[in-house]
């Protein structure tokens, strides 16, 4: 008969086996998480809550606690005219949402931001991922007009108001009517009798709440909210806003750099190339 294994040897082997398994599972989980995080970061059109830091800082600072979403769900404005509670604007991202998992975001076409007077989601944030100073006015009061989650953009090819059909759904839904969205009058030359009332977004007043997008009557919203940097585009670094002191400061260290465009045309006078081809006349 073979010698029986000692209990302590068997337990030690079992311990090391479980440890190896756990290390392997942990490593696999880390690789999966890293892959998912990289994918989630590639969603540039994600809309964040009011007063969110820029995306890179927001993802670093947010601890994914869900307190902002909870405050959003319990807000007084979160009830319809019959007193029934509506879904929260802020969703906590889960796997498959193409957003960093556990972080808050919203989809205006589903549930827009209702521009609460007390902006409850912001004070609820324990880490300042939602920076309360961004929505605090000079009187020290929370001010919904200071919210900047994005910018509404109108697609003139899809908006029926540009076809000559009267529609002011987005205009009426805007909480800053006649400020963030105005209706621009234009004569309909085709009929000579009717007028166009086209929605125009004021980039300086729009908060990106998405109430206009939610209200849009077309099957696919003809007005939609984008993060401001994508709605407006970004000029090249060599363009300077002379009226913006911060933008001027950006080039202080580049004063001695040559920013001239060097090509054949720029070395000529306008008359030299504007009259090209006319030599034979």
How do beta strands 91-92 and 104-105 pair? antiparallel
Pair 208, 149: CB distance under 8 Å: yes
Lowest mean pLDDT among 18-32, 85-99, 211-225, 239-253: 18-32
Q: Cα(243)–Cα(58) distance, rounded to whole angstroms? A: 29
Pair 225, 149: CB distance under 8 Å: yes
Instruction: For tokens 């363009």, name the residue.
Output: 239
pLDDT tens-digit series, residues 218-238: 999 999 999 999 998 877 777
Take residue 24 and report the two structure tokens written for it.
């392997």
Q: What is the pLDDT of residue 5?
A: 52
Neighbours of 121 (CB within 10 A): 26
Average the pLDDT over 101-118 and give the result. 94
Pair 180, 236: CB distance under 8 Å: no
144 pLDDT above the threshold of 90:
yes
Pair 73, 66: CB distance under 8 Å: no
Take residue 108 and report the two structure tokens written for it.
């205006």
Which one has a higher pLDDT value, 237 or 74? 74
* Alpha helices (H) in the chain, listed in sequence order: 7-41, 55-61, 67-73, 121-124, 169-173, 211-215, 228-232, 245-250, 270-274
Q: What is the mean pLDDT of the chain?
A: 83
Task: Domains for the chain: give ranges and CATH numbers.
Answer: 37-149 (no CATH), 150-250 (3.30.70.20)
Q: What is the pLDDT of residue 164?
A: 85
Length of the chain: 281
Average the pLDDT over 23-32 and give the result. 61
Q: Cα(233)–Cα(226) distance, rounded to whole angstroms? A: 11
Q: What is the pLDDT of residue 245?
A: 74
Average the pLDDT over 139-159 and give the result. 96
Cα-Cα-Cα-Cα torsion 26, 28, 34, 39, nearest 10 degrees, comes to -140
Neighbours of 43 (CB within 10 A): 14
Average the pLDDT over 77-95 and give the result. 84
Pair 90, 120: CB distance under 8 Å: no
Average the pLDDT over 43-49 and give the result. 91
Q: What is the pLDDT of residue 240?
A: 76
First-to-last C-alpha distance (Å) of the chain = 116
CA 234 to chain centre: 15
SS3 (DSSP) at 202 = coil
Instruction: For tokens 């879904």, name the residue.
Output: 87
Pair 116, 75: CB distance under 8 Å: yes
Beta bridge partners of 200: 182
């Amino acid at each position: 008969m073979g010698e029986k294994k000692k209990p302590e040897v068997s337990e030690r082997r079992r311990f090391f086996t479980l440890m190896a398994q756990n290390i392997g599972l942990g490593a696999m989980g880390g690789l999966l998480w890293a892959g998912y995080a990289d994918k989630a970061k590639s969603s540039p059109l994600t809309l964040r809550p009011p007063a969110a830091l820029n995306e890179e800082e927001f993802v670093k600072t947010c601890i994914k606690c869900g307190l902002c979403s909870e405050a959003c769900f319990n807000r007084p404005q979160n009830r319809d005219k019959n007193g029934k509670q509506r879904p929260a604007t802020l969703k906590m991202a889960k796997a498959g949402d193409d957003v960093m998992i556990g972080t808050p975001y919203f989809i205006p076409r589903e549930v827009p931001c209702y521009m609460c007077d007390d902006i409850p989601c912001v004070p609820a944030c324990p880490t300042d991922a939602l920076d309360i100073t961004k929505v605090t006015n000079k009187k020290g009061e929370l001010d919904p007009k200071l919210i900047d989650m994005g910018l509404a953009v109108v697609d003139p090819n899809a908006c029926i108001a540009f076809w000559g059909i009267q529609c002011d759904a987005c205009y009426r839904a805007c909480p800053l009517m006649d400020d963030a969205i105005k209706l621009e009058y234009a004569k309909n030359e085709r009929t000579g009798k009717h007028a166009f009332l086209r929605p125009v977004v004021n980039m300086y007043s729009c908060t990106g709440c998405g109430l206009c997008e939610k209200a849009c009557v077309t099957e696919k919203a003809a007005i939609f909210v984008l993060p401001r940097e994508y709605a407006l585009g970004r000029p090249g670094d060599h363009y300077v806003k002379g009226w913006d002191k911060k933008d001027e400061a950006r080039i202080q260290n580049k004063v001695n750099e040559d920013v001239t465009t060097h090509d054949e045309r720029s070395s000529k006078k306008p008359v030299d190339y504007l009259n090209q081809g006319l030599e034979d006349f």
